[in-house]
Structure 1
Amino acid sequence: MKIRIEEFLKSGRFGPLELGTSKDLAIASLGEPDCDADLGKTGSILLYGWYELFFNRENQLHSIQNDNYDPSRKESYLFKNEKIEIDPWFLNEALNQCIGDISRALEEKGMEYEVIDYYGRDAIKLKSGVVIDFDEEENDCGIKALTGIVLWP
């Protein structure tokens, strides 16, 4: 099954998963994770590459993110196992992607969004609730570069 980041941004669904999905169904749908870690009082996390699925104490999906995007490290945005392959769309090898670049990509697809203040920095929030995050500091090229995607309601 192909999981498309474009569809995640539009719908908030990560392939067949939506917030509230059970951990058992997530594993059955996506295959065995690279890591299944207990986070103590807050719940647990499944890792598929750098795509992180957070579950509450009731083992219900409550957050999905990849906030470790690095265009120089393919493993930070590409993932494939026996059940799924992630189509990362703009999470790719392109260096120095800024808010303007991502805004244009969203507009080309007709996706509605707004620029928001996200913990003191500009980010993009889509109608689905997914946030596209950017670095708070400018890099050596003067760009506040893309850092990842987050659905954390």
Structure 2
Amino acid sequence: MEKITIDLKDFLLTGNFGPVVIGMTKDDVIHWLGDPGQVHDFKSGSAVLFYNGFELFYSTDDDQLYAIQNDNLYYLFEENAPYPINEKVSVDTSFLHFGKPLTLGNLKDYLAQQQIDFEIVHKDEYDEIVLESGVKFDFENRGSKPDACLLNGIRYFKY
């Protein structure tokens, strides 16, 4: 079995999760990433493949992938990169290792330093950083200090 490492920075810049791209079939995803830890069918036309924190959503009508997200971000704070999602695949998260929880403020500063274009989108309950690729970072409820809000999720949805 050939092991692969997915570069999180590449995902952020392109929306491609290593060899996995939006529009790919569920079977193709499993071919590249191996068997998921769990599969959940929402019985609403969509289902999700779980890979140790990463969630890949697909339509049950045509089995096509339409979203990739992780809203279980403890791995970003681990010092051991790459982060394994199963025996076959690891994700190189070193691009976002700060040694502390990621906040809106320190992520904005870091992306600017790396010369990665982004925009801030203010939602009713939270703020998002949106990259040119369409990948989004969302943060906890903004409260009175928006730049101190902690990263909640990284998401790429394409319908």
Q: Shared fold (TM-score greater than 0.5)?
A: yes
Query: Structure 1 counterpart of 2:32, which letter?
Result: S
- 2:110 paired with 1:110: no
| 1:70 aligned counterpart, secondary structure | helix
Tell me the equivalent position of 1:63.
67
| 2:110 aligned counterpart, secondary structure | helix
Tell me the equivalent position of 1:43.
46
TM-score in terms of structure 2 length? 0.82
Number of residue equivalences: 149
Looking at structure 2, the residues matched to 103 and 35 of structure 1 have their Cα atoms a distance apart, in angstroms, of 34
CA contact (8 A) 2:36 2:49 kept: yes
Q: Quick one: percent identity of the two aligned structures?
A: 32
Looking at structure 1, the residues matched to 43 and 149 of structure 2 have their Cα atoms a distance apart, in angstroms, of 34
Query: Deviation at 1:152?
Result: 1.7
Looking at structure 2, the residues matched to 72 and 53 of structure 1 have their Cα atoms a distance apart, in angstroms, of 18
Give the alignment partner of residue 18 of structure 2, picking from 5, 8, 15. 15
- 2:103 paired with 1:98: yes
Looking at structure 2, the residues matched to 119 and 34 of structure 1 have their Cα atoms a distance apart, in angstroms, of 34
Query: Deviation at 1:29?
Result: 0.1
CA contact (8 A) 1:48 1:79 kept: no
Superposed CA offset, 1:18-70 (max 9, x none): 11010000000001111112121232110100100000121100011001223
Query: Deviation at 1:72?
Result: 9.2
**Tell me, which stretches of 5 or more residues in structure 2 are unaligned?**
none
| 1:47 aligned counterpart, secondary structure | strand
Superposed CA offset, 1:80-129 (max 9, x none): 42321111235557334211211122223221110112353211000010
Query: Structure 1 counterpart of 2:150, which letter?
Result: A
CA contact (8 A) 1:124 1:131 kept: yes
TM-score in terms of structure 1 length? 0.85
CA contact (8 A) 2:127 2:142 kept: no
TM superposition outliers: structure 1 runs of 4+ over 6 Å: none
